[in-house]
Amino acid sequence: MHRMHSAHRMHSASYEHVRSGSGWPVAALAAAVLLAVLAVGCGGGDPPPPPPEASDDHVPELLVLVYDRSSSIVDHELEHYQELTRSRIQTLQHGDHLVALEILEQSLQEDPDRWSQAVPSRERNDRVMPRDSVNRARFIQDARDYLTRYTNTDERAPAMGTDILSTLHLVATEVAAYPDHRTTVVLFSDMLQANDVMNMEGLVRMPHAGWIQEQAGRGTLPDLSGACIVVVGARVDTSASQRVRAFWEEYFEATGAVLNRGNYQHRAVRIPEDPCGQG
């Protein structure tokens, strides 16, 4: 297996308000800046359209994107993950929070590759301000640019395994930090846990019957209560892959998360804004 390593950890960015120091009307300056921001491309192609403004009754969303970069994920799959990432974050609204994680290799002892940032809140709730659209457009463009590091096809260094189970404990930490947000967790992965404890590749070392219940009894499962799980990249066309899916369905149910059968796919066309009907 191979995995990307990076010295950049806990990366963050700041978004300042647009100020008029040139004598331009603020609205005109904001519109000009917005056009300039949207004109910046991400590797070519048309700029993304501005996302809709958040309504007054908008429930903020925590969107957690989890990336598998092991060698079992081929280049065209990573490219597909990038397309889905870009289209999905385009739907984020003011006050939403975006987190990206790379799947751990062996255990929670590793330093996670994590990126976390909130979409700037609206300056005023009683009216739409031009600078709000500018700040959100800048956030989305910067997020699209930065998150390509999780889906690029270069510099995947050798890795010791794929530890989805430990990574889900990191996800649970994010869920606990935003109790007032509805949570969507997107796992870009073939869902093949592969470390010293469990190896689902070829069903080499699957957990025994009752393993999930045992872990629940010991209190070692992550608390993902209310989180909507979406899986992209997992096969479902063989008896082995169906056995793997059955494990994850039982596992996520035990953690309190929601994994609908239709949200466990090999190749999704798009990631719905509300895949579990939480909104």
Choose the weakest-confidence range: 81-95, 115-129, 168-182: 115-129
User: If you average pLDDT over every residue of the chain, what do you get?
Assistant: 84
Residues 61/70, Cβ–Cβ less than 8 Å: no
- Closest-CA residue to 222 (of 101, 120, 115, 80): 101
Q: Where are the alpha helices (DSSP H) in the chain?
A: 26-39, 75-89, 130-146, 164-177, 211-218, 239-255
Res 52: pLDDT = 54
Res 255: pLDDT = 98
pLDDT mean over 160-188: 97
pLDDT mean over 18-24: 35
Res 6: pLDDT = 39
pLDDT over 90 at 158, yes or no? no
Question: C-alpha distances in angstroms, 216 versus 25, 168, 169, 227?
Answer: 60, 14, 13, 17
Token reading at 237: 């066309």
pLDDT mean over 152-177: 91
φ/ψ bin of 139: left (φ > 0), alpha (ψ from -120 to 50), beta (otherwise): alpha
- Give 261's pLDDT tier (boundaries 50, 70, 90): very high
* Concatenated DSSP letters of 166-228: HHHHHHHHHHHH-TTSEEEEEEES----BSSS-B-GGGTBPPPTTHHHHHHHHT-S---TTPE
- Closest-CA residue to 67 (of 56, 81, 80, 83): 81
φ/ψ bin of 230: left (φ > 0), alpha (ψ from -120 to 50), beta (otherwise): beta
pLDDT over 70 at 68, yes or no? yes
According to DSSP, the β-strands at 61-67 and 114-118 are unpaired
pLDDT over 70 at 29, yes or no? no
Is the pTM higher than 0.85? The answer reads no
Residues 56/125, Cβ–Cβ less than 8 Å: yes
Domain boundaries, given as residue ranges, for the chain = 60-265
Chain position carrying tokens 């987190």 = 99
Per-residue pLDDT of 204-259, as tens digits, reads 999 999 999 999 999 999 999 999 999 999 999 999 999 999 999 999 999 999 99
- The tally of CA atoms less than 13 A away on the side-chain side of residue 208 is 1
Domain 60-265, what fold? Rossmann fold (3.40.50)
Task: List Cβ neighbours of 16 (8 Å cut-off, separation of 6 or more).
Answer: none
pLDDT over 80 at 83, yes or no? yes
The dihedral sign for the CA sequence 152, 157, 162, 165: negative
Percent of the chain with pLDDT over 70: 80
Task: List Cβ neighbours of 269 (8 Å cut-off, separation of 6 or more).
Answer: none
pLDDT mean over 56-65: 89
Task: State which of 6-10, 152-156, 235-239 shows the largest mean pLDDT.
Answer: 235-239
pLDDT mean over 139-149: 96
